[in-house]
Amino acid sequence: MYEFNYHRPKTLDEASRTTKEAEDGQVLAGGMTMIPSMKLRLASPSDLVDLADIDGLKGITIGPDTVTIGAMTRHHDVHTSPDVQKAIPALAALAGGIGDPSVRHRGTIGGSVANSDPAADYPAAVLGLDATVETNTRKIAADDFFTGLFETALESGEIITAVHFKIPDAAAYMKFPQPASGFAMVGAFVAKFGGEFRLAVTGAKDCVFRMTEMEQALAANFSADAVAEITIAEDDLLADIHCGADYRAHLVTVMAKRAVALAAG
């Protein structure tokens, strides 16, 4: 770790201003990626702005059509929330499969979404559930939010305050974990909204993406068979020592098929 300035502001405005004005300011939510990166000297922010003392960033609100989760809500709280379990059981289950108990008690939804890790779980739910990411300055549709490898539409000093998930008729998430890290080697999140479907895939490319061909097939036939033969081109898929692009492409179809089977019940 290098030396850095630590801030613990009381308000969002102060947090935003401090982050923007710093030479290289970074927001700290749960710190589950930030702190290890700093310890390895891979990240070296000049200023770290901790959101822990800002009121109103934590908690779960259930509306008639949406579930709103405050940015600083821990994965454990989403996983164990009876309200989330009832409204969007797939989301509660997804939160319960992130990392390990220590990570789930520290990590936050805002931190995970803002980080846009290519293998993170939450981005699949955000995109799959057509969520809206609310920040201190605006609301961003999921389709516009994730822009690349660790890249999002967030601007300097912009801080996520909450994520609004649309409540689907049915949804499911299936992930195949990377054997060492437990991150998603491939994860597929499927959701049904009336006659429309969304199917988001994480772990396979630089950032989460939708499989529109599968979504269309599901609109015609909501069953695993509808997606079982739909494959993805290997060309721009990730390849590493744990998983070749060909195997990843195969897993995309298998995880999508299994998610659909689970959602269709």
Provide the binding-site residues for other proteins, judged by CB under 8 A.
1-3, 39-41, 176, 179-181, 183, 185, 241-244, 247, 250-251, 254
Query: Encoding tokens for residue 135?
Result: 């920040």
Query: Nearest distance from residue 203's CB to other proteins, in Å?
Result: 13
Would you state the structure tokens that stand for residue 253, as one six-digit string? Answer: 């179809």
Q: Which is nearer to other proteins, 47 or 117 (CB)?
A: 117
Give the residue with the Cβ less far from other proteins, 87 or 120: 120
- Cβ 52 to other proteins shortest distance, Å: 24
State which residue, 176 or 209, has the beta carbon closest to other proteins.
176
Strand, coil or helix: what is 67? Answer: strand
Rounded least distance, CB 6 to other proteins, Å: 15
CB nearer other proteins, residue 186 or residue 263: 186
Smallest gap from Cβ 178 to other proteins, in A, equals: 8
Minimum CB separation from other proteins for residue 215, in Å?
22
Question: Is the separation of the CB atoms in 9 and 15 below 8 Å?
Answer: yes
Residue 189 in contact with residue 263, Cβ under 8 Å?
no
For the chain, the maximum distance between any two Cα atoms, rounded to a whole number of angstroms, is: 57
Residues with Cβ within 8 Å of 36's Cβ and at least 6 positions away in sequence, in order, are none
Whether residue 168 contacts residue 129, with contact meaning beta carbons closer than 8 Å, is answered with: yes
CB of 51 to other proteins, least distance (A): 25
Q: Write phi, then psi, for 259 (nearest 5 degrees).
A: -65, -45
**Strands lying side by side in the sheet with 132-135:** 60-62, 66-70, 160-166, 132-135, 139-141
Considering the complex, state which of residue 167 and residue 211 has its C-beta at the smaller distance from other proteins.
211
Pairwise CA distance, residues 68 & 214, whole Å = 27
The residue (of 52 and 224) whose beta carbon lies closer to other proteins is: 224
